[in-house]
Structure 1
Amino acid sequence: MKTFHELELARDEVVHAGSRGPSDDSIRKFLKGCRVLKVRDSATVAEYGSQLLKRANLPAEELWLVREQVAMAALDVSDMPLATSCVRAISRQFPDSMRAQRLQGMFFEANGNWERALEVYSKMLEKNPANEMALQRQVALAKATGNTTAAIEAAVEYLDLYCNDAEGWEELAELYLQSSMYKLAAHCYEELLLINPTSFAYALRYADTLATIGGARNLKLARTYYAMAVQLSGGGCLQALLGICWATAKLGELK
């Protein structure tokens, strides 16, 4: 399966199978399509994937792929009995697997057991300090518990290794803004503009942050980036147009 259209057809075959219900082969086809195209569709995967696990005799490799897929879907839809069953089975079969440990951490998170989840991710990082997923989950855990300082530290640690991750820089910028660390937030938007120099949204956010910092130099630079946002948006960014007017007025007040 190579296209989202094919996946949609496979989904329809499963969901609209009628009173007899979908065949095992149609469910397998749909689940594989979701894995290949990296589509979650958690409610559908949890419902029909659990049916498949109960009644089908799957090849070993496919069985564990489906269990993992269903486990993540169950966590997404808060079906904890289903998630518990899948996570336990996977953990028993693959006790040393990083993917199994990841599922354990996500399971603890879903249950609000932050300490156990953090223990899991810390052990993963002991084995592999560059484990991308574990580093990301540390940020998410700190945010979930309201520890902005720890979230910032974890995000910085992550970006030291994965400096081209735009979502990571966006997240760190938001954390800095929440903490009124505007100069550090501005640096994040500079990094984002290096990653994607044609994004009017990044230019706009950078300009907004500079304008918040204030001062003649920052206001002049903010005006420049507001103008860039206007240009990159094809003139459609009203907020950037208003930003130019606002920055110009503020500069006039400083004279």
Structure 2
Amino acid sequence: MEELDQVLERGDSVAILRYLRHNRIRASAEVVQHGQGFVAKGKGSSLGIEAWPVYEQVFLAALDLGETLLAERALGLLRKQFPDSARVGRLVGMQAEAEGNYAVAAEVYKSLREAHPTDPVVWKRWVSLAKAQGDLPEAIKRCNEYLKVFQNDTSAWQELAELYLLTGHLGKAAFCYEELVLSGPSIFSHHVALAEIYAAMGGAESLRLARKHYAQSMALHQGDDNLRSLYGICSTCHALARCTHKSAHEDKSDAAVNGALFKLAVDKLKSHYRRVNPSMLPLVEVTLLQQAIGDASLKK
């Protein structure tokens, strides 16, 4: 595939806009730079049927950059050509949002949802509207209503989890990520996110669940971009060792598993820093040693 730098170097505005659009690259400044001339020409442009996606592309980029007049011009061309389009209707709502006219945006999305109840993008704009207004409880309510219709939308489950985290509902956020793990058990990042929630909840049971998902994430992906799993195992094993050590019902077999996982994660972290950044290794070793100090099960 041709790289963006090569396309930009040629200076062909149509090719640049097409490349950005097809590869879903949000480069608003470049879109406005190469697309505003086509919007200014309107029907006189040489784009043919490609004019309409270009106008939409320029409209969205103009909103990003606060170019109000350019956005209005692009939207006007689209509304004139497609007056009854739900897609253009969403753009009208987005323009109202960008201008802070939330009441107008709400009416637009309400009418669109009534006319197109199975359009997921309209529903998502409706959720985003509440979030933009800072009304997180309403955003949660709307996101739950959306998921009653589109149960398999993993991005919506992730959004709902983030909303619950923002409002301090850790248990509900964990439920959302459990759904994500069920739908994509091989996605290591979902296991990491779920583990971090359980670790934040605290308590022996939640810490064991955190340890399980950190370990699963480590098993699924051992690349340099998954150090969070290794550090997560270390911190969770340390917290669990301290938690269960105080209990009169300490599980010896679980303590052995805890110590073995801690050692495995420590060895992997040392190996990583020895290979990638040797100068950091002494600091990492001291940090990990401090976690093990005072708990015999982690030293074994």
Closer, same or farther: CA 247–170 of 1 in aligned 2, 3 Å: farther
Structure 1 position 240 matched with structure 2 position 233: yes
Asked if 1 retains the 8 angstrom alpha-carbon contact of 2:109 and 2:125, the reply is yes
Q: Displacement of 1:118 after TM fit?
A: 1.4
Match of 2:149 among 161, 166, 169: 161
Structure 1 position 123 matched with structure 2 position 111: yes
1:75 maps to which residue?
Answer: 63
Aligned length: 241
Give 1:30-41 correspondences, 5 Å limit.
Answer: 30-41=16-27
Give the whole-Å Cα distance in 2 for the aligned partners of 1:53 and 1:141. 28
1:23 maps to which residue?
Answer: none
Unaligned runs of 5+ in 2: 249-300
What letter is aligned with 2:220? L
Asked if 2 retains the 8 angstrom alpha-carbon contact of 1:121 and 1:134, the reply is yes
RMSD: 2.1
2:188 maps to which residue?
Answer: 200
TM-score using structure 2 length:
0.73
1:42 maps to which residue?
Answer: 28
What letter is aligned with 2:59? A
Unaligned runs of 5+ in 1: 15-25
2:265 maps to which residue?
Answer: none
TM-score using structure 1 length:
0.85
Closer, same or farther: CA 228–166 of 1 in aligned 2, 3 Å: same
Does 145-154 or 209-218 show the bigger shift? Answer: 209-218
Does 58-67 or 40-49 show the bigger shift? Answer: 58-67
2:5 maps to which residue?
Answer: 8
Superposed CA offset, 1:27-72 (max 9, x none): 1222222222222321111122111333553355222222111111
2:269 maps to which residue?
Answer: none
Asked if 1 retains the 8 angstrom alpha-carbon contact of 2:196 and 2:232, the reply is no
Give 1:79-90 correspondences, 5 Å limit.
Answer: 79-90=67-78
Asked if 2 retains the 8 angstrom alpha-carbon contact of 1:31 and 1:66, the reply is yes
Match of 1:229 among 217, 239, 262: 217
- Paired-residue identity, %: 35
What letter is aligned with 2:54? V
Q: Displacement of 1:128 after TM fit?
A: 1.2
Give the whole-Å Cα distance in 1 for the aligned partners of 2:235 and 2:187. 18
Give the whole-Å Cα distance in 2 for the aligned partners of 1:104 and 1:134. 11
Asked if 1 retains the 8 angstrom alpha-carbon contact of 2:39 and 2:74, the reply is no
Closer, same or farther: CA 196–241 of 1 in aligned 2, 3 Å: farther
Superposed CA offset, 1:145-184 (max 9, x none): 1111111111112223333333222211111122222221
The structure having more radius of gyration, on CA atoms, is 2
Superposed CA offset, 1:102-142 (max 9, x none): 11111111111111111111111101112111111112111
Stretches (4+) displaced over 6 A = none
